[in-house]
Amino acid sequence: MLILGIETSCDETSAAVVRSGRELLSNVISSQIDIHKIYGGVVPEIASRKHVENIMLIIDQALTEASVTLEQLDGIAVTNGPGLVGALLVGVAVAKTLAFAADKPLIAAHHIESHVFANILSFPDLHPSFLALVVSGGHTSLIAVDDYNSYRLLGQTRDDAAGEAFDKVARVLGLPYPGGPEVEKLALNGNEHAIDFPRARLKSLPVTNFDFSFSGLKSAVINYLHNCEQRGVEIVIADVAASFQRVVCETLAINAVSASKQFGYSKIVLAGGVAANNKVRETLQIYCKQKDIELFVPPAVLCTDNAAMVASRGYYSLIAGKTAGWDLNAVPNYPIGKNDNTSE
Ligand code: KG4
Ligand code: ZN
């Protein structure tokens, strides 16, 4: 079965063709980073316009690279949320139009659930159940995945997402957008134990045991920098980056491993843009090894936003008979586990 995936939820315009959920035939990603860099972050209106300009070219390229025609497809999957509403609408409108014109099933894909499928694409023998840790610019989520179409949120960030914290800390350190890779690079030359930034512990709060919080850590970095400036103390920004990154990594690893033990999962899969970070990968690996948990980490290109993961996610909806109606809409705040594929 051949699925075309379309992804336009933020600042990457992407289209991909995947065979039977796991075999990647093409994955074309056009990043708008250089445009948004000038503004220090993603400008939603510009993102939508660039998607409009690029999307058909990207889809053409994905079909050409896969040597597949529109007619040969078995379905068209599109991210319809969460994300920037204007950006999402571009992908949704294009997917609907192509699916209607070519008489193909339309499949809605949840962006965070799709991130998990970077692992399905990367590891041929991996099947649910497992625990997924999705760490992106907009979300930090721990999800129990018991089946390809069953997602249970066990924990999420109460404030800033991990990627957002990376980006904000990068900005105060004077680094360009997106900050995650810049902080990682800078941290390579720093001492990660130089500064003792706090790690948020939310265990005693009643909502769930496995929520995350990164805004306190971000504020601690800002306060540290102000304090040093006021006292005329020299700031070693590589130490700040490394110390901040260590706390993020420990927070992610401790929560994921504890949840996995509590809920009885022996596998953790990592996904989302922040999963491209080598320190995040290494720290998770160390914690998982200690507790005899198997860790799966996809290649970096599948961790950040791409349409291959959308096509893979869509395949598993389609074979379960779940497709979307022509009234499919963009849903900027789309809860995990809710499915917009209405026909069964
Ligand atoms: O998943 P993604 O591509 O888009 C969203 O769905 O948000 O994630 C983007 C986020 C950004 O915050 C970016 O700074 C972060 O992932 N990121 C990283 C790294 N590469 C991307 N954070 C830390 N280290 C990296 N190497
Ligand atoms: Zn994403």
Q: pLDDT per residue over 98-115, tens digit each?
A: 999 999 999 999 999 999
Query: Looking at residue 194, what is its pLDDT?
Result: 97
With bands split at pLDDT 50, 70 and 90, how would you rate the model's confidence at 97? very high
* Closest residue CA from atom 3 of ligand 1: 304
CB neighbours of residue 23 within 10 Å: 12
* Closest residue CA from atom 23 of ligand 1: 180
CB of 190 closer than 8 Å to CB of 236: yes
* Closest residue CA from atom 11 of ligand 1: 137
User: Comparing C-alpha atoms, which of 29, 15, 115, 128 is closest to residue 73?
Assistant: 15
CB of 48 closer than 8 Å to CB of 5: no
List residues near ligand 1 (CB under 6 A).
Answer: 10, 136-138, 163, 166-167, 178-181, 184, 272-274, 276-277, 304-305
Ligand 1 atom nearest residue 272's Cα: 1
CATH of 2-115+304-319, one of 3.40.50.1980, 3.30.420.40, 3.40.50.150, 3.40.190.10: 3.30.420.40
User: Which of 304, 310, 313 to probe ligand 1 with, by most ligand atoms within 8 A of CB?
Assistant: 304
CATH number of the domain at 127-302, please?
3.30.420.40
Query: Looking at residue 33, what is its pLDDT?
Result: 86
Give the residue extent of every domain in the chain.
2-115+304-319, 127-302
| CA-based radius of gyration for the chain | 20
Q: Are strands 294-296 and 2-7 parallel, antiparallel or unpaired?
A: unpaired
Distance CA 255, CA 211 (A): 8
Question: pLDDT, tens digit, for every residue of 212-265?
Answer: 999 999 999 999 999 999 999 999 999 999 999 999 999 999 999 999 999 999
Q: Is the pLDDT of residue 342 over 90?
A: no
Average pLDDT over residues 147-170: 95
Distance CA 162, CA 252 (A): 9
Give yes or no for a cis peptide into 181 (omega within 30° of 0).
no
Asked, colleague to colleague, whether 2-115+304-319 and 127-302 share their fold, the answer is yes
Ligand 1 atom nearest residue 12's Cα: 3
Q: 232 C-alpha to center of ligand 2: Å?
A: 40
Query: Looking at residue 203, what is its pLDDT?
Result: 59
